[in-house]
Chain A
Amino acid sequence: MSAADLSIGGARAALDAGDLSAVELADAVLDRASATEAQLHAYLLIDHEGARAAAVAADEAIAAGTAGPLTGIPIALKDNMVTEGVETTCASQILAGWEPPYDGTAVAKLKQSGAVIVGKTNLDEFAMGSSTENSAFGTSRNPWDTDRVPGGSSGGSAVSVAVGSALGAFGSDTGGSIRQPAALTGTVGFKPTYGLVSRYGLIAFASSLDQIGPFARDVDDALTLFEAVAGHDPMDSTSWDGAVPDARPTLDAGPEGLRVGVVEEMNGEGADPQVLARYREVLSALESAGATLVDVSMPSIAHPVSTYYLIAPAEASANLARFDGIRYGHRADGETVEELMARTRGEGFGPEVIRRILLGTYALSAGYYDAFYGQAQKVRTLAIQDFERAYEQVDVIAAPTSPTTAFKIGERSENPLAMYLSDVFTIPSNLSGHPAISVPAGTDDAGLPIGFQLLAPALGEPVLFRAAKAVESLMGVSARPRLEEVAG
């Protein structure tokens, strides 16, 4: 077994015991990347030099006894996380070549923790998509079946963790962009409570929905990664300034006594039968292990996709207005600055980004605001109220993560609406700002991974992780993809 196949917990033990050096671990991970990248394209940039230097420093820290939980652990970052001096593109032509003069807060925390940053992973351009096909620099592929998508938008991060070209990774989740690719690649993907991880240095897609979170091979690792980046940041006014809820003490408390909500409106209707079967299987396993299943109704989340696809593009239309060809990134020629901006944006953004900018601009424009954006914000309020009522009766809510397993590359790219419906089960917790996690729940008949999703109220991380760990223990940590098929 290669060191690249270790969990973070396993690697930590080996590093601390001196059985493995951080440099050896980094080399194992970089070797794995060399073997898999040609097929999978998880990364947009691999920082060999930076990773080796960080590994050397990590070995010194370990020797000096100052190592923390992530010291020497190879980590991948979605390429919408700003990294000082390392090209950050958001998988967009409009930002190609940009070398940021600063680190985002989560990145800075990871560096301080001694983590070894392997590189920047592929994504749907500006995190807009559910397949990673919208990357301007080529799609990533699912290691379980390379004809299929890894999900998105954080597809590259999911793939890196699935195949061991990183031991853990970070992505961002605006409508399911961590949980859905986690489900499709057999990894754990966690979206924290909105505000628990600073958004400073996360290139904004939809400000009121975006949240950074981890990908990991198991629930323990996901918690370790989350702990490294969570906490108040004075640079992000929307970050939570109270204590980060501590999920460690109750992590292994098991399913007994947990009240698990089964939502009438998120019970998997419209989902693939195998996804649905697996969802029900996990529910009964939980029940047999002592959890109580409670039926709850949340009528107002009946239109999550519509609500989301008005709010997110509206915010995005403003967030992406700064890409004008003046201060950084791509520039097209123009006789006037207006022409320069319009051409830069017309040719610099890909079709999905343009589609969403147009959609959001329309939803905010004079005469349509009340009917579209304004109404969506009110429906959002109703959805939050639904959740609050539900959490009076239950500790967590269970739902499938994705209605289907990984789909074929190209299968949905001509039909934006079908693609948007991939997010039907993940969007509600973005609208409410609540935490949610996807844990592997086995595979379908074709051997493709299926995810099981748990949702909890705001700051409900302790109960969420407890439930997730319980599911993991009941279902077993999923098999890994067969590397001989993807290693070149």
Chain B
Amino acid sequence: MIVESASGRWEPVIGIEVHVELETKSKMFCGCTVDTEAEPNTNVCPVCLALPGALPVINERAIEWIARIGLALGCTVTPDTVFSRKNYFYADIPKGYQISQFDLPVCADGHLDIEVDGVASRVGIERAHMEEDTAKSQHAGDGGRIHTATSTLVDFNRAGVPLVEIVSRPDMHTGAQARAYAQALRQVVLALDVSDAKLEEGSMRFDANVSVRPEGEPELGTKVEVKNMNSFRSLERAVDHEISRQIAHIESGGTVIQETRHWDEADGRTHGMRTKEGSSDYRYFTEPDLPPMHLDEDWVAPIRAALPELPEARAARYRQMGLEAGAADVLAPASPRARELFESAVGAGGDPRQVANWLVQDVTAWLRKADTDLEATPLSAGHLVELGRLVDDGKLSSSAAVMVLGHVLAGDGAPAGVAEANDLIQISDAGALESAIDEIIAANPEEWERYVGGEQKLTGFFVGQVMRVTQGKADPKLVSQILRDKA
């Protein structure tokens, strides 16, 4: 992963920090609802507003869920761990410190496997620690830009929402790898059912640490933290841009300084942020309001035992069931309902490839067009099995099957009935087709001569004619068979 430039060969080094908001019922340290959509400042209490005298209490489910994430990433759960105070002042930090973790994160030393353009690699996970989210500010005033803003409005609904920070090792080298890592991590989080991990709503956010060094240099270059990417695409773009910027900067005689830069989606560049001097001394110390946690094997074992199958393992299993890699990769991390339909349909005798193709392509396309969710449709595993049987029995053509599927999704009924009602059943009665074929042969004597004479490509012509007069209901295989028999 070397970038060649005018003056030499450079190795970019990238590490990613991901923040994931957990979808627990209540906040990390208080009983307020986790609902960032709510009316501003309605899910607030003495604890998350940092009123004088209030004290935090740990939400056990959040700790179970971060352990779940860590275990899924192959991390060890730290048996003796504590919360720490990370001290810094900001309007969005109500206590003047964030309750976070310092040298004893709940989870450490894991990994996540990724693949870019067929090349697999393993990204180390340094740690996953538990912390709390900040409040949300919005700039009021003209245009919302900082230099024209007259004031900032603060909403504390998000303050104290459980937040897991997952820190990778600097094992990536391209924007595409950074993107693949973030996407794979999102699939893991979704599979664990601990967060909706919505990028656009900020329930999953990432920062990238980017540095470059001359090829072969053992020391890492100075790293720059890039923030404000809110899609996978912008993560990839921002990382690639920052790599080029650093190389160009060094080549023009500059030195990379350790700083935080802000990605601007509109101009496709990163920009340095103004920061206050001395703001990086966080003075971490053990949170005296929260006793230590002792997460021994007895505590961890039930969480480990209840881990669901992860996308990677599931995709491998699906491939073994005969799915093509593409379909397996799409279906493995798909919605739980889609996987449930697939697995039960196959369990009831459905053909894995056929069912997977319907789900991955046709059902997905129909849902997108209808702007609805699978859960909102009556489609059942039984429907998929029945549809497969109709195709196998020659009663439905594959295109008719897709039409039937659409009707089933729309709630018009079960496949056989829907096919019947919409007159989509194939004519697979040789007798019924024979008279139609005879009429067409009679009407096209010249073509028939040539076909009989061995001109195979005319098969298509005759099948097409039959399909036309039967309005597409003829079984094309059967038509060719009859044609062959007659010739």
Are both chains from one complex? Answer: yes
Is B57 touching A234 in the complex (CB atoms < 8 A)?
yes
Is B50 touching A82 in the complex (CB atoms < 8 A)?
no
Chain B residues within 8 Å of A341, by CB: 89
Query: Which residue in A88, A236, A337, A369 is a CB contact (below 8 Å) of B52?
Result: A88
The A-contacting residues of B in range 62-117, CB under 8 angstroms, are 85, 87, 89, 91, 94-97
Q: Does chain B have a CB within 8 A of A308?
A: no
Interface residue tally on A, bucketed by range: 35 or more
Q: Does chain B have a CB within 8 A of A251?
A: no
Instruction: Type the 1/0 row for B132-163, where 1 means its CB is closer than 8 Å to any CB of A.
Output: 00000000000000000000101000000000
Q: List 6 A-B contacts (CB under 8 A).
A: A199-B55, A237-B291, A315-B288, A318-B85, A322-B52, A361-B283
Chain A residue, CB-CB nearest to B286: A377
Query: Which residue in A202, A314, A328, A361 is a CB contact (below 8 Å) of B51?
Result: A328
Q: Which of A202, A322, A323 has the most CB of B within 10 A?
A: A322
CB-CB under 8 A for A338 and B95, given A200-B54, A203-B53, A237-B57: no
Chain A residues within 8 Å of B46, by CB: 100-102
**Bound CA–CA A423/B152 (angstroms):** 45
Chain A residues within 8 Å of B291, by CB: 237-238
Chain A residues within 8 Å of B290, by CB: 237-238
Chain A proximity of B251: nearest CB distance (Å): 34
Q: Does chain A have a CB within 8 A of B289?
A: yes
Chain B residues within 8 Å of A337, by CB: 91, 152
Is B95 touching A322 in the complex (CB atoms < 8 A)?
yes
Q: Does chain A have a CB within 8 A of B285?
A: yes
Q: Does chain B have a CB within 8 A of A186?
A: no
Chain B residues within 8 Å of A199, by CB: 55
Is A365 touching B281 in the complex (CB atoms < 8 A)?
yes
Chain A proximity of B153: nearest CB distance (Å): 11
Count residues on chain B whose CB falls below 8 Å from chain A CBs: 29
Chain A proximity of B305: nearest CB distance (Å): 28
Instruction: Type the 1/0 row for A300-330, where 1 means its CB is closer than 8 Å to any CB of B.
Output: 0000000000000011011011111011100
Q: Does chain B have a CB within 8 A of A166?
A: no
Chain A proximity of B294: nearest CB distance (Å): 14
Enumerate chain B interface residues (CB-CB to A < 8 A): 46, 49-58, 85, 87, 89, 91, 94-97, 152, 154, 276, 281, 283, 285, 288-291
Q: Does chain B have a CB within 8 A of A478?
A: no
Chain B residues within 8 Å of A104, by CB: 53
CB-CB under 8 A for A321 and B89, given A207-B289, A365-B281: yes
**Bound CA–CA A234/B52 (angstroms):** 18
**Bound CA–CA A202/B53 (angstroms):** 5
CB-CB under 8 A for A326 and B96, given A100-B53, A237-B56: no
Is A82 touching B57 in the complex (CB atoms < 8 A)?
no
Instruction: Type the 1/0 row for A319-363, where 1 means its CB is closer than 8 Å to any CB of B.
Output: 011111011100000000110010000000000000000000100
CB-CB under 8 A for A327 and B56, given A361-B283, A364-B285, A365-B283: no
Which 4 pairs show the lowest CB-CB distances between chains A and B? Answer: A321-B96, A207-B288, A364-B283, A208-B288
Chain A proximity of B80: nearest CB distance (Å): 16
**Bound CA–CA A250/B162 (angstroms):** 47
Is A200 touching B53 in the complex (CB atoms < 8 A)?
yes
Is A321 touching B97 in the complex (CB atoms < 8 A)?
yes
Is A98 touching B52 in the complex (CB atoms < 8 A)?
yes
Chain A residues within 8 Å of B53, by CB: 80-82, 100, 104, 200-204
Q: Does chain B have a CB within 8 A of A379?
A: no
**Bound CA–CA A208/B285 (angstroms):** 12
Chain A proximity of B158: nearest CB distance (Å): 15
Q: Does chain B have a CB within 8 A of A222?
A: no
Is A203 touching B52 in the complex (CB atoms < 8 A)?
yes
Instruction: Type the 1/0 row for A94-114, where 1 means its CB is closer than 8 Å to any CB of B.
Output: 010010111010000000000
**Bound CA–CA A382/B96 (angstroms):** 31
Q: Does chain B have a CB within 8 A of A90?
A: yes
Instruction: Type the 1/0 row for A216-251, where 1 means its CB is closer than 8 Å to any CB of B.
Output: 000000000000000000111110000000000000
Chain A proximity of B446: nearest CB distance (Å): 88
Chain B residues within 8 Å of A98, by CB: 52
**Bound CA–CA A202/B285 (angstroms):** 21
Q: Does chain B have a CB within 8 A of A144?
A: no
**Bound CA–CA A469/B461 (angstroms):** 113
Chain B residues within 8 Å of A1, by CB: none
**Bound CA–CA A166/B269 (angstroms):** 68
Instruction: Type the 1/0 row for A129-154, where 1 means its CB is closer than 8 Å to any CB of B.
Output: 00000000000000000000000000
Chain B residues within 8 Å of A317, by CB: 87, 283
Is A235 touching B50 in the complex (CB atoms < 8 A)?
no
Chain B residues within 8 Å of A315, by CB: 285, 288
Chain B residue, CB-CB nearest to A338: B276
Chain A residue, CB-CB nearest to B91: A337
Query: Which residue in B55, B152, B283 is a CB contact (below 8 Å) of A236?
Result: B55
**Bound CA–CA A314/B286 (angstroms):** 11
Q: Does chain B have a CB within 8 A of A373?
A: yes
CB-CB under 8 A for A322 and B55, given A101-B46, A361-B283, A364-B285: no
Chain A residues within 8 Å of B51, by CB: 82, 100-102, 327-328
Chain A proximity of B100: nearest CB distance (Å): 12
Chain B residues within 8 Å of A366, by CB: 281, 283
Chain A residues within 8 Å of B85, by CB: 318
Chain A residue, CB-CB nearest to B154: A326
Chain B residue, CB-CB nearest to A199: B55
Is B52 touching A90 in the complex (CB atoms < 8 A)?
yes
Chain A residues within 8 Å of B97, by CB: 318, 321
Chain B proximity of A337: nearest CB distance (Å): 5
Chain B residues within 8 Å of A207, by CB: 288-289
Is A321 touching B285 in the complex (CB atoms < 8 A)?
no
Chain A proximity of B278: nearest CB distance (Å): 9
CB-CB under 8 A for A318 and B52, given A207-B288, A238-B289, A326-B154: no
Chain A residues within 8 Å of B288, by CB: 206-208, 238, 315
Q: Which of B91, B94, B283 has the most CB of A within 10 A?
A: B283
Chain B residues within 8 Å of A322, by CB: 50, 52, 94-96
Chain B proximity of A359: nearest CB distance (Å): 13
Is B89 touching A200 in the complex (CB atoms < 8 A)?
no
Is B57 touching A235 in the complex (CB atoms < 8 A)?
yes
**Bound CA–CA A341/B52 (angstroms):** 17
Chain A proximity of B90: nearest CB distance (Å): 8
Q: Which of B49, B288, B290 has the most CB of A within 10 A?
A: B288
Chain B residue, CB-CB nearest to A126: B52
The B-contacting residues of A in range 185-211, CB under 8 angstroms, are 199-204, 206-208
Other than the given A204-B53, A235-B57, 7 more pairs (CB < 8 A) read: A98-B52, A207-B289, A208-B288, A238-B291, A321-B87, A321-B97, A327-B51
Chain B residues within 8 Å of A203, by CB: 52-53
Query: Which residue in B52, B54, B58, B154 is a CB contact (below 8 Å) of A237?
Result: B58
**Bound CA–CA A206/B285 (angstroms):** 13
**Bound CA–CA A104/B47 (angstroms):** 12
Chain B residues within 8 Å of A101, by CB: 46, 51
CB-CB under 8 A for A338 and B89, given A100-B51, A327-B94: yes
Is B52 touching A82 in the complex (CB atoms < 8 A)?
yes
Is B55 touching A318 in the complex (CB atoms < 8 A)?
no
